[in-house]
């Protein structure tokens, strides 16, 4: 059996707790597998620019030079410096029309244009102008906030060919499902976010192809519903962090604090 050559990790809830830096023990574990010849990268739900702001220099510590990474829930495979799309899966136009079919139900929607260095766009209806300062405070450092008429925003959305759209709805019962190939809709209750993108399983397969490293030589670590498509792949080793999901035959550890020790003891 060939040894493990590549680790692919989710970030939030896997390598770190939300809004916290990655722990030194986790970085030590990653450095340990690096020193033994294994390389690592990430597949995150975040956009590249947001991920770079959140992690700072730690992003370079957890991603090996020359390897692509997956962002925007796997819809975009990007170079390590964030400047080049290695693979891009835009959402079909008919799916975009269905996603935003009821603008009155949308509190705001965020998408990332196809050009990897472009700002994200956050749209909220003109009737929601009073909340724009709050949205700018929370999201303005990585997204332009606009209250354009819906038809204008919709045309821009179609023209810029996003691979991921996140929607915050007003209706707590809102749920979306789009029967398009490689498109996944995720409802994050109680926040009622609907995230539409190619899934992380597809991203891992593309990274495997780009690096010429078969799944049988890959370790995958995740923690949440969005990670299930990649954790269901026939990879050599798979690990779930925390107790939010359980999958048959997949090992689990209790928290992000245990990731470093797991990697230190990992048999390649």
pLDDT, tens digit (0-9, with 9 covering 90-100), for 12-58 = 999 999 778 999 999 999 999 999 999 999 999 888 988 888 899 99
Q: Is the pLDDT of residue 181 over 70?
A: no
Q: How many CB atoms are closer than 10 A to CB 23?
A: 16
Which residues make beta-bridge pairs with 187?
194
Residue 252, CA distances (Å) to 134, 223, 246, 249 in order: 38, 9, 8, 10
How confident is residue 188, by pLDDT bands cut at 50, 70 and 90? low
The lowest-confidence range among 82-86, 138-142, 175-179, 235-239 is 175-179
Q: Is the pLDDT of residue 119 over 60?
A: yes
Q: Is the pLDDT of residue 192 over 70?
A: no
Q: Is the pLDDT of residue 177 over 70?
A: no
Predicted model pTM: 0.90
Task: Work out whether strand 76-78 and strand 85-88 pair parallel, antiparallel, or are unpaired.
Answer: antiparallel
Stronger pLDDT, 47 or 250, i.e. the higher one: 250
pLDDT value for 71: 93
The lowest-confidence range among 45-54, 191-200, 207-216 is 191-200
75 — phi, psi (to 5°)? -70, -25
pLDDT value for 178: 47
Distance CA 171, CA 249 (A): 37
**Degrees (nearest 5) of the Cα angle 213, 219, 221?**
135
Stronger pLDDT, 39 or 191, i.e. the higher one: 39
Whole-number percent of the chain with pLDDT over 70: 89
The per-residue pLDDT of the chain, averaged, comes to 87
What is the arithmetic mean of pLDDT over 142-169? Answer: 88
- CA 123 distance to own-chain centroid: 20
* Contact partners, residue 222, CB within 8 Å, separation at least 6: 9, 10, 14, 200, 228, 230, 231, 239, 240, 241
Domains of the chain, start order: 6-88+200-265 (3.40.50.1000), 93-197 (3.30.1240)
pLDDT in tens, 103-118: 887 888 888 889 888 8
Q: Is the pLDDT of residue 1 over 80?
A: no
């Amino acid at each position: 059996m060939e040894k493990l050559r590549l680790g692919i990790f989710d970030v939030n809830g896997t390598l770190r707790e939300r809004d916290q830096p990655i722990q030194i023990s986790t970085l030590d574990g990653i450095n340990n597998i690096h020193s033994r010849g294994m390389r690592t990268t990430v597949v995150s739900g975040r956009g590249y620019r947001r991920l770079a702001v959140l992690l700072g220099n730690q992003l370079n510590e957890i991603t090996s030079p020359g390897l692509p990474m997956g962002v925007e829930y796997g819809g975009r495979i990007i170079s390590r410096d964030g400047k080049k799309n290695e693979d891009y899966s835009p959402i079909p136009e008919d799916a975009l029309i269905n996603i935003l079919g009821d603008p009155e139900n949308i509190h705001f929607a965020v998408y990332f244009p196809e050009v990897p260095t472009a700002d994200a766009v956050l749209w909220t209806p003109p009737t929601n102008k009073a909340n724009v300062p709050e949205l700018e405070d929370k999201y303005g450092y990585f997204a332009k906030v606009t209250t354009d008429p819906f038809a204008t925003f919709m045309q821009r959305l179609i023209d810029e060919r996003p691979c991921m759209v996140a929607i915050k709805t007003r209706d707590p019962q809102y749920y979306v499902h789009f029967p398009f190939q490689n498109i996944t809709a995720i409802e994050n209750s109680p926040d009622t976010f609907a995230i539409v993108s190619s899934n992380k399983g597809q991203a891992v397969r593309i990274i495997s192809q780009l690096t010429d490293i078969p799944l049988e030589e890959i370790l995958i670590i995740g923690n949440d519903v969005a990670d299930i498509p990649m954790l269901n792949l026939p990879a050599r080793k798979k690990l779930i962090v925390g107790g939010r999901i359980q999958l048959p035959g997949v090992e689990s550890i209790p928290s992000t604090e245990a990731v470093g020790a797991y990697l230190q003891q990992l048999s390649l």
